[in-house]
Amino acid sequence: MTAHIGVGLIGYAFMGAAHSQAWRTAHRVFDLPLTPDMVALCGRDEAKARAAAGRLGWASVETDWKALVAREDVGLVDICTPGDSHAEIAVAALAAGKHVLCEKPLANTVAEAVAMAEAARAARERGVRSMVAFNYRRVPALALARKLIADGRLGTIRHVRAQYLQDWIVDPDFPLVWRLDRAKAGSGALGDIGAHIIDLAQFLTGDLITGVSGVTETFITERPLVAESSGLTAAGSAERGQVTVDDAALFTARFAGGALGSFEATRFATGRKNAMRIEVNGSAGSVAFDFESMNELSFHDHTEGPDTAGFRRVLVTEGSHPYLSAWWPPGHGLGYEHAFTHEVFDFVTAIAEERDPLPSFEDGLRVQRVLAAVETSAARDSTWTSVEDAL
């Protein structure tokens, strides 16, 4: 019989719902060595938490994350809260012997991320595992791109171009939600969506960003306040608060292996809903990906003759492609939620096999250092900034 592991989820909004879908689904699709039990959901508002637990499939509710971490039937803690609480929860859960899955970015500051990485290293010696939830690594087309690069199909990597484009706060009357508050979110577009393309660039290339030159901008500096009781803003409300994060960030980068990179993260690209794009160019070929066509990978083999060379469209739905053997017949595409299911599959499998899952908290720390370096550079008129020196 398959052993079980009790899961406790902290947070039940957007990411909490996505993670819940994954915990409900993973063991029904993949042959997991451990069966996840959805033991408890934690939220500060008991009524809302109970409603969410019933909707999302959790067996019980806690209103204090410390109580959830202390439960003997919880062996794994999944953190889907705003960034200001990641460090405290993760460090406590690891100390209590719980495996930890933590949403990205890992923390709000480098200091917090360092503390989390140190706690993860100490816990690892006791067999306790941790992972950062950079879900785009688990998109089959991007996992295939990583394999092509690791297999040498692109040759020496020369250039990375990455964008994450959204438009959900273009309206100046969009309310001042927590993602626009530096105290809760750490940064704006840079940390929220820029973290994804930073991690992907380092994941795909197998190389680290060593220095950056960046610029950030806040286009709308004040927004309507959110009514605490409803979580929404009253129509026509005149009371406004200060936006304390960036709306857009752009930076150039250099990788340890000599490649150059250009990165763009914005919530003001009108018409773009979730256009996460990345292209990697090498001496022997290139790959390009756009999440709005998430089941496709563009691949160019530069070793072909000029008569046939060019980008080809690879439909990543074959059973031989990463993760696809568990799903549908070729040509039947996957969606956004599947990346989270793959994330759960990888994490639970690593726990059962007593090995360290990726991306690690150390990987999350590396991304955090890049974020800090971009902010430091932007504050200093785009001065070139070493990632290792960022605090």
Any domain includes 384 = no
Q: Which domain holds residue 323?
A: 139-359+367-379
Q: What is the mean pLDDT of each successive set of 10 residues along the chain, which is 391 residues long?
A: 93 98 98 97 98 98 98 98 98 98 98 98 98 98 98 98 98 96 97 98 98 98 79 61 98 98 98 97 98 98 93 98 98 98 98 98 98 98 94 76
113 and 147 together in one domain? no
Any domain includes 386 = no
232 and 274 together in one domain? yes
154 and 185 together in one domain? yes
CATH of the domain at 42: 3.40.50.720
Any domain includes 390 = no
Instruction: Match 């960036």 to its residue by tokens.
Output: 246
SS (H, E, C) 37-96: EEEEEECCCHHHHHHHHHHHCCCEEECCHHHHHHCCCCCEEEECCCHHHHHHHHHHHHHC
SS (H, E, C) the chain: CCEEEEEEEECCCHHHHHHHHHHHHHHHHCCCCEEEEEEEEECCCHHHHHHHHHHHCCCEEECCHHHHHHCCCCCEEEECCCHHHHHHHHHHHHHCCCEEEEECCCCCCHHHHHHHHHHHHHHHCCCCCEEEECHHHHCHHHHHHHHHHHCCCCCCEEEEEEEEECCCCCCCCCCCCHHHCHHHHCCCHHHHHHHHHHHHHHHHHCCCEEEEEEEEECCCCEEECCCCCCCCCCCCCCCEEECCCCCEEEEEEEECCCCEEEEEEECCCCCCCCEEEEEEEECCEEEEEEHHHCCEEEEEECCCCCCCCCEEEEECCCCCCCCHHHCCCCCCCCCHHHHHHHHHHHHHHHHHCCCCCCCCHHHHHHHHHHHHHHHHHHHCCCCCEECCCCC
Any domain includes 388 = no
User: Considering only CA atoms, which of 140, 137, 134, 152 is closest in space to residue 314?
Assistant: 140
Region at 97 (left for phi over 0; alpha for psi -120 to 50; beta for the rest): left
126 and 158 together in one domain? no
158 and 282 together in one domain? yes
Any domain includes 276 = yes
pLDDT of residue 233: 47
124 and 144 together in one domain? no
Point out the domain boundary residue: 87, 121, 136. 136
327 and 296 together in one domain? yes
Point out the domain boundary residue: 136, 165, 183. 136
147 and 288 together in one domain? yes
164 and 301 together in one domain? yes
Q: Give the model confidence (pLDDT) of 199-247 as tens digits.
A: 999 999 999 999 999 999 999 999 999 875 444 444 455 799 999 999 9
Q: Give the model confidence (pLDDT) of 164-182 as tens digits.
A: 999 999 999 999 999 999 9
Any domain includes 391 = no
Total domains present in the chain: 2
172 and 321 together in one domain? yes
Any domain includes 147 = yes
Point out the domain boundary residue: 136, 153, 168. 136
224 and 341 together in one domain? yes
195 and 258 together in one domain? yes
CATH of the domain at 254: 3.30.360.10
Question: pTM for the whole thing?
Answer: 0.96
What are the residues whose beta carbons fall under 8 Å from the beta carbon of 305, sequence distance 6 or more? none
